[in-house]
Structure 1
């Protein structure tokens, strides 16, 4: 089972009630990992949101990942942390969370990609694949060709993030990328369960076509 396959990143603009509804439905639809993101700097709110999501994920086998904050991840005993390039250094983060937690790192350029191969991390978040309204401060857009290049330069699993939707999922999956991170296409769907199931079906179909053409 590949935990990175359909990786839900929560929308920090949604209130707690909406967040819980989205996560519950998305997991029912087949989401394989959930990252709770909170950019407002309110640590109590972050912990509350993380605890609420953790309770929903209990018994599902879906890992809970915390964005940026090691302290929040430790406070709620999350399954892992995802760090950006300006967050705590991953070597220090690994010491704090231990060897058994999942540790991901955002990669924004080729130099970071190469450096990541010698870091104590479990997966890479390649950002941003395409332009996206939910993240405007991106260094570059990798595109399909950039993703292919990245896959050739690391043995670590790659989760593609940024502007991913039903239109580009087939092309992305044909690259053999290990995971796709989704925000808007699930969080803003009228029916997050149906949206998640549909995206998974697109991924499955594209992967099968990719295998046939290899």
Structure 2
């Protein structure tokens, strides 16, 4: 996909395990009402049929709000539900091969955890990169140790693609994440686990707006 830009501010990610009994449809609906313009479906523990049914519902919901819908890891699922794209990890299928399957117009994101991976990601054919985990995170058990804010600052200084900061980001550290170069951030449990999701996103947006606007990369 050419000239792709990540929506500013927030990148929504599902995590029904931390949603206090609420469905992904309910939580994502509130994200979209609060103005989030990109949502990734990431549910590792569900069956293929459960994922398929949920993604069909969320694909319809995101279209209604004019938001992008990304599927984590599963290229076939992304194709089946006509998602806007897929987000890949370092151990998933290579970006060039996934690009061949999805075509030039679909979005491909790639997680990175080091300067070496970031540099490789810039020339991989991905449309955007993930940068993290910045802090310890509870939503993924197979993740590398926190990479810290120095890596985020490195990404900001060397980026030729949009990137999203992720991993353990909360209200109390969001300002420093912004100050170190993040224009787009993913706060998973902080949002899906909030009692009042719309109110929480408004609070987080206020924190971002209190930090000077970053210049585009």
| TM-score of the two chains, using structure 1 as the length reference | 0.91
The Cα offsets for residues 157-208 of structure 1, whole Å up to 9 and x where unpaired, read as 1101100111111111122323101210110111111111221221122134
Question: Match for residue 179 of structure 2?
Answer: 174
- The number of residues matched between the two structures is 210
Gap change, CA 1:2 and 1:41, over 3 Å in 2: closer
1:100 aligned counterpart, secondary structure: coil
Question: Match for residue 149 of structure 1?
Answer: 154
User: Could you list the runs of 5+ residues in structure 1 that have no partner in the other structure?
Assistant: none
Tell me if structure 2 keeps the 8 A contact 1:3–1:62.
Answer: no
Question: Match for residue 170 of structure 2?
Answer: 165
Q: Aligned partners of 2:37 and 2:55: how far apart in 1?
A: 17
1:8 aligns with 2:12: yes
Moved over 6 A (4+): none
User: Could you list the runs of 5+ residues in structure 2 that have no partner in the other structure?
Assistant: none
Greater CA deviation, 196-205 or 69-78? 196-205
Q: Aligned partners of 1:19 and 1:124: how far apart in 2?
A: 24
Q: Aligned partners of 1:93 and 1:54: how far apart in 2?
A: 20
Tell me if structure 2 keeps the 8 A contact 1:108–1:138.
Answer: no
Q: Aligned partners of 2:168 and 2:139: how far apart in 1?
A: 8
Tell me if structure 1 keeps the 8 A contact 2:90–2:111.
Answer: yes
Output the aligned Cα RMSD: 1.9
| TM-score of the two chains, using structure 2 as the length reference | 0.89
Gap change, CA 1:184 and 1:170, over 3 Å in 2: same
2:101 aligned counterpart, secondary structure: helix
Tell me if structure 2 keeps the 8 A contact 1:12–1:39.
Answer: no
Q: Aligned partners of 2:140 and 2:212: how far apart in 1?
A: 27
What are the residue-to-residue correspondences of 1:20-169 with 2, within 5 Å? 20-40=25-45, 42-169=47-174
2:186 aligned counterpart, secondary structure: strand
2:164 aligned counterpart, secondary structure: strand
Q: Aligned partners of 1:181 and 1:150: how far apart in 2?
A: 16
Q: Aligned partners of 1:195 and 1:171: how far apart in 2?
A: 18
Deviation (angstroms), 1:32: 2.1
Tell me if structure 2 keeps the 8 A contact 1:127–1:138.
Answer: no
Q: Aligned partners of 2:22 and 2:15: how far apart in 1?
A: 12
Deviation (angstroms), 1:150: 1.9
Q: Aligned partners of 1:98 and 1:16: how far apart in 2?
A: 37
Tell me if structure 2 keeps the 8 A contact 1:108–1:140.
Answer: no
